[in-house]
Amino acid sequence: MKILTADFILTCNEDFDVLTHGAICFDKTIVEVGRKEDLIKKYPNAEVTDLPKNSILMPGLINPHVHLEFSSNTSSLAYGDFMSWLNSVIEKRDDLLLTCSDEIIEEQLKIMLQSGTTTIGAVSSFGNDFDACLRAKQRVVFFTEVLGSRPDSVDILFDSFKSRLRIAQDNESERFIPAISIHSPYSTHPILAKNALDLARKFGYAVSTHFMEARAERDWLDNGKGEFYDFFANFSPYAKPLCTALEYIELFRGTKTLFTHCVQATANELEAIKNIGGAVTHCPVSNRLLGVGKLDMKKVEETHSTLTIGTDGLSSNISLNLWDEMRAVIFTHTQEALNDLAKKVLIATTKDAATALNLNCGQIAEGKFADLIVCQMAQEIENKEDLPLQLILHTKHTHLTFIAGESV
């Protein structure tokens, strides 16, 4: 049993309560939150640590959407236009997968841990990241991904997907949680998606999918035209959209699904995502590098959709540090009031991300897993209303990190 005291405790609960000069008692889970004197009296055998001045104690960060299999990329892919990037990924894919060793992935996991990311949603297209994720200190929601649009390949692709999923299932633990990813509406045959989603419902798994990332996707699903028409013509002269956007969303009913990007999503589509209990994952750096525009935050708020924030992978980012991504949100959405946006961003990377992934963490509250981080500010913050923004602006690494009550 441990007791930590801090100048500020950021609960990241529904009301975004900020406690001053408080303390928490925890082991694997949070036992109680309150005053230091009361907790010491109640738990006399607990190990007490007074954190340094200007310390902020808060839940560990949750990155719900990251691709680790392309972590060897630095400057080999084309940026600025989605289709140019996609073609460069196809061209360079084998080389990037071959050069992305376990050591490279483990280094990125270490960087994320040092910056306070205690849970990741790892989207695994090929399984090359499996061993590193299994050994990770973080809590890993491991999304085995399925993709393929050719109807004559559905059975083969599904069997391959099930083989990779079974390996994840055989290694399930409290910190390694199997999950399922459907790549996107333009790349995954509806029968393949439906079969995989039936498994997600059967086992109660979280689901991830890319949705409405680029204008090319919008044009293709709506009209069967645009840049994807030429792209798919290289594979089949008779290619056509496999479903509409709303039909695709409906496939996920009865699952907990994170719809990643949603830059081109309409209000009706965001409403549909919300109505099936889905969440939206925002990846602003990736969106900028691929030239797809930016998420309409106002539209997301108006539909009361759950918002999470992810880094995507190093194929479309330069950092997997979630603080960098949070800063990108702050500087991208210039019409939002800064302090209000900072609170939304912290909730999106803690409480709401945990809810979207169906995890018992993301808040400083009794009964939640003690996945905790301690950040230390260089100067005293006199007004706690300024705390969320200043924390995001100035934090790069944590002072302490705990996962399930264990210091990592």
Those residues with Cβ within 8 angstroms of residue 396's Cβ, 6 or more apart along the chain or in another chain: 115, 321, 323
Residue 282's SS3 state is strand
- Quote the strand ranges of 187-278, DSSP E: 206-211, 256-261
CA gyration radius, the chain? 21
Do the Cβ atoms of 315 and 73 come closer than 8 Å?
yes
Angle between helices 387-394 and 322-332 (to 10 degrees): 120
CA atoms within 13 A on the CB side of 139: 30
What is the rounded distance in angstroms from the CA atom of residue 385 to the CA atom of residue 365?
21
**Phi-psi category of 292—alpha, beta or left, where left has phi over 0 and alpha has psi -120 to 50?**
alpha
Which tokens hold the place of 220? 């293709």
Rounded to a whole number, what is the distance in angstroms from the first to the last CA of the chain? 16
Q: In what order do the strands lie in the sheet with 117-124?
A: 61-66, 117-124, 139-146, 176-182, 206-211, 256-261, 279-282, 306-309
Q: Cα 382 from chain centroid?
A: 32
Reference 144, options 131, 130, 155, 157; nearest CA is 130
Catalytic residue list? 213
Those residues with Cβ within 8 angstroms of residue 152's Cβ, 6 or more apart along the chain or in another chain: none
Q: List beta partners, residue 260.
A: 210, 281
Which tokens hold the place of 333? 């959405």
